[in-house]
Amino acid sequence: MSHSITKICNDFIAELDQAIGNQTAESIFVLTDGNTRQYCLPIAAKSVKLKGCHVICIPFGDENKNVDSAVEIWKYLSENGANRKSLMINLGGGMITDIGGFTASTFKRGMRYINVSTTLLGAVDAATGGKTGINFMGLKNEIGVFAPAETVLINIDFFKTLDDKNLRSGYAEMVKHALIDTYVEWESILKFDLESINFEILKSILERSIRIKERVVEADPFEANIRKALNLGHTFGHAFESWSYKTDKPALHGYAVMWGLLCELYLSFVKLNFPKEELLRLKYLTKEYYGTFEFSCNDYESLFELMTHDKKNDSKEINFTLLANIGEIRINQTATKEEIFECFDWFREG
**Beta-carbon count within 10 A of 313 CB:** 15
Q: Which is nearer to ligand GLY, 112 or 131 (CB)?
A: 131
Cα separation, 226 vs 276, whole angstroms: 24
For the CB of residue 166, give the shortest distance to ligand GLY in the complex, in Å: 17
3-state DSSP helix/strand/coil percent for the chain, to nearest 5? 55, 15, 30
Task: Tell me which residues in 194-233 interact with ligand GLY (CB under 6 A).
Answer: 227, 230
The dihedral over CA atoms of 191, 170, 89, 153, expressed in degrees to the nearest 10, equals: 10
The binding track of 86-125 with respect to ligand GLY, each residue x by CB under 6 A or -, is ---------------------------------------x
Q: Which is nearer to ligand GLY, 15 or 264 (CB)?
A: 264
For the CB of residue 230, give the shortest distance to ligand GLY in the complex, in Å: 4
Q: Which is nearer to ligand GLY, 173 or 278 (CB)?
A: 173
Start-to-end C-alpha separation, the chain:
44
Specify the pairing of strand 139-143 against strand 134-136. antiparallel
Taken in order 235, 237, 240, 246, the sign of the CA dihedral is negative
The binding track of 293-332 with respect to ligand GLY, each residue x by CB under 6 A or -, is ----------------------------------------
For the CB of residue 307, give the shortest distance to ligand GLY in the complex, in Å: 17
Question: If we measure between CA atoms, which residue out of 309, 332, 122 comes closest to residue 226?
Answer: 332
Q: Which is nearer to ligand GLY, 53 or 212 (CB)?
A: 212
Q: Which is nearer to ligand GLY, 211 or 283 (CB)?
A: 211
Query: Is 238 among the residues that bind ligand GLY (CB under 6 A)?
Result: no
For the CB of residue 173, give the shortest distance to ligand GLY in the complex, in Å: 8
Question: If we measure between CA atoms, which residue out of 328, 313, 230 comes closest to residue 272?
Answer: 328
Question: 138 pairs with which residues across the strands?
Answer: none
Query: Is 176 among the residues that bind ligand GLY (CB under 6 A)?
Result: no
Task: Tell me which residues in 121-150 interact with ligand GLY (CB under 6 A).
Answer: 125, 129, 131
Question: If we measure between CA atoms, which residue out of 72, 136, 67, 132 comes closest to residue 102?
Answer: 132
Task: By CB under 6 A, name the binding residues for ligand GLY.
Answer: 125, 129, 131, 227, 230
